[in-house]
Structure 1
Amino acid sequence: MRFVTLLCILLLGTGAAFSQSISGNMNSEAHSEALRYGNVDIYKGDKLVASVLTDKLGNFAVALDTGTYVCVMNYAGYSPIRKEIKVTGDEIANFKMKEDPTVPKRAAKRDDGELLDEMRSIEEVAVSSYKLESKSTAATITREDIRRAPTRSRGDYMGATGGTLATDGTVMAVHPGSGTYNGTASSRLLTAGEINDFSKWKMWQDLNKGELATYQKTWEIAPSGRYTVMLQSENGIPIVDAIVQLLLNRKVVFTTRTDNTGKAECWLTIKNETPEVNGKLSIQITYDGKVSIIHKVSAFENGLNHQKLNISCQEIQNVDVAFVVDATGSMGDEISFLQAEMSDVIFQSKQISNKLNFRFANVYYRDAGDSYVTKSMNFNRILSESDAFINEQSAGGGGDFPEAMDVGLDSAINNLSWSESARARILFLILDAPPHQGSEINERLQRLILQAAEKGIRIVPVGASGIDKSTEYLMRALALGTNGTYTFLTDHSGIGNSHIKPSTDHYEVETLNAILVRILKSYTYMPDCQQNIPDLALDIPDSIVSTVPEVDSTDTNAVKPDPKALNITWSYYPNPTNGVITILPNTDIKELYVSDLSGKVLQILPKLKKDERIQVDLSGYATGIYLIRYLDENNHWLSGKVVLQRTS
Structure 2
Amino acid sequence: MKKHPLSRRIGAVLCAPLLVAAAATAQPLWPEPRPEPRPEQALRAGPRSVPNFEAPSATHCARPVSTREVPGFADPDPQGRAGVPDALAKAAPEARGTEDRMRREAPPSAVASPAPRAPAAPGIAARESFAPHDPAPAQPQWAAPPTVTAGVVDDNADFSAYLAFRERTRVEHRPRDVRRRHLLEVKDRRGRPVGDAEVAVQGSSGYAMWARTDAGGRAWLHPDAFDPLRSPQYEVVVRKDGAQSSARLARGQKSAVEVVLDAAAPAPRARLDLVFLIDATGSMADEIDKLKATLRTITAEVAALPSRPDICLGLVAYRDRGDAFVLRSHDFTNDVGAFLQQALYPLQAAGGGDYPEAMNEALHDTVHQLSWRGDGATRLVILLADAPPHLDYGAPHYDEDMLAALGKGIKVFGVGASGLDRQGEFIQRQIAQYTGGKFVFLTYADAHRPGSGPGRETVHDVKNYSVDTLDRLVVRLITEELAKAGR
Q: Where on the TM-score scale, by shorter chain, does this alignment land: which range?
A: 0.5 to 0.7
Deviations 1:300-348 (A, max 9, x none): x954211222333232732100001110112124321133233322221
Question: Cα gap change, 1:75/1:426 in structure 2, threshold over 3 Å: closer, same or farther?
Answer: closer
The one-letter code sitting in structure 1 at the alignment partner of 2:416 is G
CA distance in 2, matches of 1:222, 1:514: 33
CA distance in 2, matches of 1:462, 1:378: 21
Match of 1:237 among 187, 192, 203: 192
Match of 1:201 among 147, 159, 171: 159
Deviations 1:390-413 (A, max 9, x none): 011100011111111111111111
Deviations 1:105-129 (A, max 9, x none): xxxxxxxxxxxx9xx8899999525
Q: Is contact 1:320-1:422 (8 Å) kept?
A: no
CA distance in 1, matches of 2:288, 2:97: 16
The one-letter code sitting in structure 1 at the alignment partner of 2:389 is P
CA distance in 2, matches of 1:200, 1:430: 23
Q: Secondary structure at the match of 1:492?
A: coil
Unaligned runs of 5+ in 2: 1-59, 67-81, 106-139
Structure 1 partner of 2:98: 128
Question: Cα gap change, 1:439/1:219 in structure 2, threshold over 3 Å: closer, same or farther?
Answer: farther
TM-score scaled by length of structure 2: 0.67
Q: Is contact 1:318-1:356 (8 Å) kept?
A: yes
Deviations 1:415-438 (A, max 9, x none): 110012233100111111111123
Q: Is contact 1:327-1:394 (8 Å) kept?
A: yes
Q: Secondary structure at the match of 2:480?
A: helix
CA distance in 2, matches of 1:384, 1:228: 40
Question: Cα gap change, 1:500/1:403 in structure 2, threshold over 3 Å: closer, same or farther?
Answer: farther
Q: CA deviation at 1:75?
A: 12
Match of 1:306 among 233, 239, 258: 258
Matched, 1:260 2:215: yes
Taking the TM superposition and a 5 Å limit, the aligned residue runs for 1:131-280 are: 183-186=142-145, 189-209=147-167, 211-212=168-169, 214-215=170-171, 218-249=173-204, 251-270=206-225, 277-280=230-233
CA distance in 2, matches of 1:276, 1:332: 46
Q: Is contact 1:380-1:386 (8 Å) kept?
A: yes
Question: Cα gap change, 1:126/1:245 in structure 2, threshold over 3 Å: closer, same or farther?
Answer: closer
Structure 1 partner of 2:133: none
Structure 1 partner of 2:357: 403
CA distance in 2, matches of 1:522, 1:495: 29
Matched, 1:366 2:366: no
Deviations 1:605-632 (A, max 9, x none): xxxxxxxxxxxxxxxxxxxxxxxxxxxx
The one-letter code sitting in structure 1 at the alignment partner of 2:408 is K
Match of 2:367 among 390, 394, 413: 413
CA distance in 2, matches of 1:422, 1:413: 17
Q: CA deviation at 1:257?
A: 0.2
Q: Secondary structure at the match of 1:373?
A: strand
Q: Decide which structure has greater strand share.
A: 1
Q: Is contact 1:365-1:405 (8 Å) kept?
A: yes
Match of 2:391 among 434, 437, 456: 437
Structure 2 partner of 1:521: 479
Q: Secondary structure at the match of 1:440?
A: coil
Q: CA deviation at 1:290?
A: 2.3
Deviations 1:134-192 (A, max 9, x none): xxxxxxxx98xx9xxx9xxxxxxxxxxxxxxxxxxxxxxxxxxxxxx9952348x2111
Q: CA deviation at 1:492?
A: 3.2
Q: Is contact 2:384-2:415 (8 Å) kept?
A: yes
The one-letter code sitting in structure 2 at the alignment partner of 1:264 is A
Q: Secondary structure at the match of 2:173?
A: helix
Q: Is contact 2:205-2:231 (8 Å) kept?
A: no
Structure 2 partner of 1:491: 444
Q: Decide which structure has greater helix share.
A: 2
Computing the radius of gyration from Cα coordinates, the structure with the larger value is: 1
Q: Is contact 1:222-1:477 (8 Å) kept?
A: no
TM-score scaled by length of structure 1: 0.51
Taking the TM superposition and a 5 Å limit, the aligned residue runs for 1:553-564 are: none
Root-mean-square deviation (Å): 3.7
Structure 2 partner of 1:598: none
Structure having greater relative contact order (Cα 8 Å, sep ≥ 6): 2
CA distance in 2, matches of 1:502, 1:288: 43
Q: Secondary structure at the match of 2:376?
A: coil
Question: Cα gap change, 1:253/1:514 in structure 2, threshold over 3 Å: closer, same or farther?
Answer: same
Q: CA deviation at 1:226?
A: 1.0
CA distance in 1, matches of 2:349, 2:412: 22
Deviations 1:26-46 (A, max 9, x none): xxxxxxxxxxxxxxxxxxxxx
Q: CA deviation at 1:222?
A: 4.1
Question: Cα gap change, 1:234/1:332 in structure 2, threshold over 3 Å: closer, same or farther?
Answer: same
Question: Cα gap change, 1:318/1:251 in structure 2, threshold over 3 Å: closer, same or farther?
Answer: farther
Structure 2 partner of 1:467: 420
Matched, 1:390 2:344: yes
CA distance in 1, matches of 2:368, 2:289: 27
Q: Is contact 1:260-1:526 (8 Å) kept?
A: yes
Unaligned runs of 5+ in 1: 1-47, 49-73, 78-102, 104-116, 131-141, 151-180, 528-532, 535-648
Bigger mean CA offset, 420-429 vs 499-508: 499-508
